[in-house]
Amino acid sequence: MHGLERSVYLSTEYKRHGNFFDCYSDAEATDTEDEEWSGPSTFSFSSARVIPIETEELTPSEPPTTDEDTKVENSVEDEPIESQFGPIGSQTHRYVSQHMGGPLREHVADEPSYFYLLTTYISYMILTTFGHVRDFFGKRFKPDKYKDYKERDGYAALNSDYDNFYFRRLKKRMDDCFSRPITGVPGRYITLMDRISHDYWTTFSFTGTLTETLNLSSYNYLGFAQSSGPCADDVEETISTYGISSASSRLEAGTSDLAVEVECEIANFVGKEDAMVFSMGFSTNATSFPGLMGPGCLIISDELNHASIRIGARLSGAVIRSYKHNDMEDLEKLLRREISQGQPKTHKAWRKILVVCEGLFSMEGTLADLPGLIRLRKKYKFYLFIDEAHSIGALGPRGRGICDYFSISPSEVDILMGTLTKSFGANGGYIAASSSIIQKLRITNAAMKYGESPAPPVLMQILSSLRQITSTSAGLERLQRITFNSRYLRLGLKRLGFIVYGHDDSPVIPVILYHPGKLPAFSREMLKRGISVVIAGYPATPLLTARVRFCVSAAHNKEDMDRVLRACDEIGDLLDLKFSTGSMGGIDPLPEGVMLADIVDDSSDGARKVEPPRWKLEDVLTHGVQDALRQLR
């Protein structure tokens, strides 16, 4: 079925059965005395395009007729290509992603006044207190609602009321902002399936309409999430040749000529001898560390590394230590202590030491201090593992990741890992390293032995997008567009007065909101203006730094970024979110001819006084392009 046709069918079934993969139930089955709470579909969308769905009776036993199928197909074909990949407004809206020399600029976390910190704590305290009060009385007056959290018929409760307290009493208040169902291609625009709740976000039912919104939520860095074009054509041809599934693991019958070709292309792309691909990015990390490390080994991990790294490290049986985020001084102290003390109890020398770091941190928007890591690697002789899940394709003048960005030879890094979901429009992951390491992993990695081989259409999507990046001018334009969009939006948000984390060239742009109540409010207000965003709070982030995370894409253009800035300016005033002090920097352009590497200590410049940035929106839009193309102080 085509995307719109599928939506017609599903929406009708939702109305008939009130069920969505056993996760949603019909609101009419709930207590009719409950006050009706409406989801985002009840908002008055000023910028979003609401698409009504025709609800003719379609059942599994009565599929669409040929005429209906043709009608839907034509409507899909008539949809503008710009909804998936926007046209560039000017050739000046491009920027080469490359470090300009010198040490990596330290990321300074701007801090708000104590008033905002105190009120954030108070907000959590109020929510927690009221939650416990509701549980206290609920267990006594409505025990049926808590029966699944207690021992029953001799069976222990799988989840106690304490274990899931946060999800029931805090997250549930904003559940309409998570897991919003979509349909179609998550490109420049994304289409949401509108839903409504009658029982305070406990269950949802669908309204039968769709809402098209600007997509700032998907990891579509290079804009390859497209249903037409060279990649889609190659994938369609591959399906007719190879089918849909490999139907086997890699060690059995799942190693096709297409898989071998993809691995060779990836190895050449990242500058390594060999590579191996996986069908899932998360399992790439989770299953590779046990094959690399074991008892008697030491894994040193950045404190903000992804959960897949943490899980894989635990499965390996190695001793795990962590260092402060991107702090090379703390890492060196840790290395000196662990090398001198050796293994616990026995104090024998470590069999191996592996330092693990992400190239681009997905929740912080910060880049790894790769030059600092290389310096320590040469001094202390440890192995270096870089997770390029978010940096491959998004960083570097050739899109080849963090090594390309810093002009460092990939041979300086022992193991390069990456995912194929974000920048390549596919799914899965890869490990690239020397031939000896890859050959060992092919034998010891559990995902290679027991996991499904990547599907042929996915492999072709990877191969086709790699060829686009390396061999076409359109691929080069994608690399430069995402960097310009990232710098332009980040600069604009900083000048408006928001606290923004991360480095200038990062396509991940976190804006700190602090108060838990402002998380859903920001998401809903953006949706009113036709923009989809991702919000994140505790436990995904530290308690105090709840945030909205903008994910920029090459599919966006300047007009899209202007639209986001206008919406943020309005919502920032509405929710009182503009509390930056300006200490984070990256706001003012450097004088002509002066490079950031030439400034030894910018804080010693007595003539420059740091003031809270509160630019007018008109000034932000007027000066944004020319300043985003320059080095920033």
Which of the residues 422, 494, 515, 556 is marked catalytic?
422
Residues contacting 518, CB < 8 A, separation 6+: 546, 575, 577
User: Does the pLDDT of residue 95 top 60, yes or no?
Assistant: yes
pLDDT digits (tens, 9 = 90+) for 291-321: 999 999 999 999 999 999 999 999 999 999 9
Q: What average pLDDT does range 322-340 have in this prediction?
A: 97
Pick from 429, 273, 440: which is nearest to 352 by CA?
A: 440
Backbone angles phi, psi at 532, to 5 degrees: -100, 130
Please state, in angstroms and rounded to a whole number, the distance separating the CA atoms of residues 9 and 54.
9
Please state, in angstroms and rounded to a whole number, the distance separating the CA atoms of residues 442 and 276.
8
pLDDT digits (tens, 9 = 90+) for 279-297: 999 999 999 999 999 999 9
Give just the sign of the alpha carbon dihedral 455, 456, 459, 460. negative
Angle between helical axes of 473-496 and 558-575 (0-180°, round to 10): 20
User: What Cα–Cα distance (Å) separates residue 67 from each residue in 5, 63, 72, 222?
Assistant: 12, 11, 9, 37
208: helix, coil or strand? Answer: strand
Taking residue 558's Cβ as centre, other Cβ atoms within 10 Å add up to 22
What domains are there in the chain, each with its CATH number?
3-78+196-210 (no CATH), 115-169 (no CATH), 230-471 (3.40.640.10), 479-628 (3.90.1150.10)
Helix (H) or strand (E) holding 309: helix 307-316
Q: Which has more confidence, 83 or 28?
A: 83
Please state, in angstroms and rounded to a whole number, the distance separating the CA atoms of residues 37 and 165.
22
Please name the residue ranges forming H helices in 356-444. 370-380, 402-406, 435-444
When the pLDDT of each residue in the chain is averaged and rounded to a whole number, the result is 87
Q: Which has more confidence, 56 or 249?
A: 249
8 Å CB contact between 254 and 452: yes
- The confidence band for 593, taking pLDDT boundaries of 50, 70 and 90, is low
To the query of whether residue 390 is one of the catalytic residues in this protein, the response is: yes
Which of the residues 83, 316, 362, 523 is marked catalytic?
362
To the query of whether residue 362 is one of the catalytic residues in this protein, the response is: yes
pLDDT digits (tens, 9 = 90+) for 28-51: 333 333 444 444 444 444 456 666
Which of the residues 390, 518, 556, 558 is marked catalytic?
390
Q: Is the peptide bond prior to 410 cis by the omega test (within 30 degrees of 0)?
A: no
User: Does the pLDDT of residue 146 top 90, yes or no?
Assistant: no
